[in-house]
Amino acid sequence: MPQINETTDRQTVITTFETSPGNCEDLLDALKEAYAGFISKQPGFVAAALHVNDAQTRIANYSQWRHREDFLKMLRSEEMRAHNKRFNTLCRSFEPVLYEVAATF
């Protein structure tokens, strides 16, 4: 389960994908496949969620990792690079950004 609070030492990663309504479902399927088959099985993975906006032009991905290094190792793997190439064909842009929890309410 994700932990969202200021005292957690977990690494939060938020990625926003800019896509089109015509590619949204395909991108969502590719992301689900990557999580089910590879990402969720990597050391340090805690949890993730995918969110789609009403216009189907953006997908937001929230994931949490035990340590920053766990995420970076997964991101640099050959298998993840192949997944990212596929994602790149289905969207205009995407960028994973690492965050620390600053406040919760």
Residue 104 lies in a domain: no
pLDDT of residue 5: 77
Strand partners, 1: none
Residue 34 lies in a domain: yes
d(CA 18, CA 69): 26
pLDDT band per the 50, 70, 90 thresholds, residue 55: very high
Residue 3 lies in a domain: no
What CATH number does residue 24 fall under? 3.30.70.100
Residue 25 lies in a domain: yes
Question: From its phi and psi, is residue 88 left (phi > 0), alpha (psi between -120 and 50) or beta?
Answer: alpha
Q: Is the pLDDT of residue 1 over 80?
A: no
State which residues form the domain around 25.
Answer: 12-99
- The structure's pTM equals 0.92
Split into its structural domains, the chain has a count of: 1
pLDDT of residue 67: 95
Q: Is the pLDDT of residue 7 over 80?
A: no
Which pLDDT tens digit goes with each residue over 67-90?
A: 999 999 999 999 999 999 999 999
Residue 4 lies in a domain: no
Q: Is the pLDDT of residue 3 over 80?
A: no
Residue 105 lies in a domain: no
